[in-house]
């Protein structure tokens, strides 16, 4: 063997090259979704206005009707302050799950087919879409923190640093749900109907508008404990409201769950939904 042959560069293993291609694919899909979100100013305004309407109009109306019975929220907590973390969760929920609509849109206009025949794993498509939706929803949730002074909530830098990973974990789980469903849907109309059917019960049963520690009927208590969004909204409330939020902490079998337990449950649910999304993308159309 000649010295020239010995000096020839060695090609990287195919697995390493494939891994690099998949990571680039995840990044490109994530970047495309985030860029589209940033450029769609109308969507940004509407997605901010809806939670604001809930907080100011719905919150003010119910606060007035509940005046005199506000002791149920403990520590003199006002109703608008109580629902504020729930409104953050609502903003994350709607943005994350409707963000998956781009999957159905891309399928109808052919872009998704081009991506699926690209030399990358279909798992990369699911991961990129999930992370893209999670990033959009996280940004939307963090924007809602600017409304804290409006409802008389004081957030410190420590509170904000605690909220960032909580919001992202919730956004990741809900985005994975949307991607898993979007991978199966073939029309925008069908996707919107399914999303509306799922999102409203998830939102109302999450404890965003009423405390889950209240004396609810047994059947509703079971439904609230089955709602994954409930385990994401409760940590937000406890981080935002402090001791008052801790007193309203979510209980399971009579025990108040620790924040890290709730976050682990939400993250585990998100990973399960991501696995389902990957499996759906791997099935041939």
pLDDT tens-digit readout, 156-189: 899 999 999 999 999 999 999 999 988 887 777 7
- Domain spans of the chain, in order of start: 21-57+75-282
Q: Is the model's pLDDT at 235 over the cut of 60?
A: yes
**Percentage of residues in the chain with pLDDT exceeding 90?**
30
The overall longest dimension of the chain from CA atoms, in Å, is 93
Supply the DSSP symbol for 8. S
- Confidence class for position 285, pLDDT limits 50, 70, 90: low
pLDDT value, residue 199: 87
**What would the mean pLDDT of 21-36 be, rounded to a whole number?**
86
Question: Which residue has tokens 């909204």?
Answer: 233
Burial code (b: 16+ CB inside 10 Å, e: under 16) for 204-219 equals bbbbbbbbbbeeeeee
How far apart, in Å, are the Cα atoms of 57 and each of 85, 139, 154? 16, 23, 21
The kind and range of the H/E element at 229 are none
Bridge partner residues of 255 (DSSP): 252
Read off the pLDDT of each residue in 234-263 and give the average, rounded to a whole number: 87
Note the pLDDT of residue 284: 54
Residue 84 pLDDT more than 70? yes
Measured at the CA of 94, the angle between CA 172 and CA 39, to 5 degrees, comes to: 85
Structure tokens at 182: 């979007």
Are the C-beta atoms of residues 90 and 111 closer than 8 Å to each other? no
Please give the pLDDT value at position 75: 58
Cβ neighbours around 43 below 10 Å, total: 17
This model's pTM is above 0.95 = no
Q: d(Cα 172, Cα 169) in Å, to the nearest integer?
A: 5
pLDDT at position 74 over 80: no
Q: pLDDT confidence of 1, banded at 50, 70, 90?
A: very low
158 φ/ψ angles, rounded to the nearest 5 degrees: -65, -40
Helix, strand or coil, per DSSP, at residue 255: strand
DSSP conformational letter for 118: S
């Amino acid at each position: 063997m000649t010295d020239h042959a010995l000096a020839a560069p060695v090609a990287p293993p195919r697995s390493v090259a494939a891994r690099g291609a998949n990571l680039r694919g995840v990044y490109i899909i994530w970047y495309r979704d985030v860029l589209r979100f940033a450029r769609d100013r109308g969507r940004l305004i509407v997605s901010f206005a809806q939670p604001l309407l809930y907080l100011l109009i719905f919150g003010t109306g119910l606060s007035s009707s509940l005046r005199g019975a506000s002791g149920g929220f403990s520590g003199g907590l006002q109703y608008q302050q109580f629902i504020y973390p729930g409104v953050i969760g609502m903003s994350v929920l709607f943005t994350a799950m409707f963000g998956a609509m781009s999957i159905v849109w891309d399928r109808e206009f052919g872009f998704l087919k081009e991506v699926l025949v690209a030399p990358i794993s279909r798992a990369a498509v699911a991961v990129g879409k999930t992370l893209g939706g999670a990033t959009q929803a996280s940004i939307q949730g963090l924007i809602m923190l600017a409304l804290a002074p409006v409802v008389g909530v004081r957030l410190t830098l420590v509170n904000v640093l605690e909220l960032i990973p909580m919001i992202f974990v919730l956004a990741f789980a809900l985005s994975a749900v949307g991607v898993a469903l979007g991978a199966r849907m073939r029309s925008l109309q069908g996707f919107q109907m399914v999303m509306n059917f799922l999102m409203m019960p998830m939102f109302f049963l999450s404890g965003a508008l009423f405390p889950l520690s209240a004396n609810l009927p047994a059947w509703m208590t079971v439904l609230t404990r089955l709602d994954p969004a409930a385990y994401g909204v409760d940590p937000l409330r406890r981080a935002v409201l402090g001791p008052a939020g801790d007193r309203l902490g979510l209980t399971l079998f009579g025990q108040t769950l620790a924040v890290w337990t709730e976050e682990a449950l939400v993250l585990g649910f998100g990973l399960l939904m991501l696995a389902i999304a990957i499996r759906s993308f791997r099935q041939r159309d």
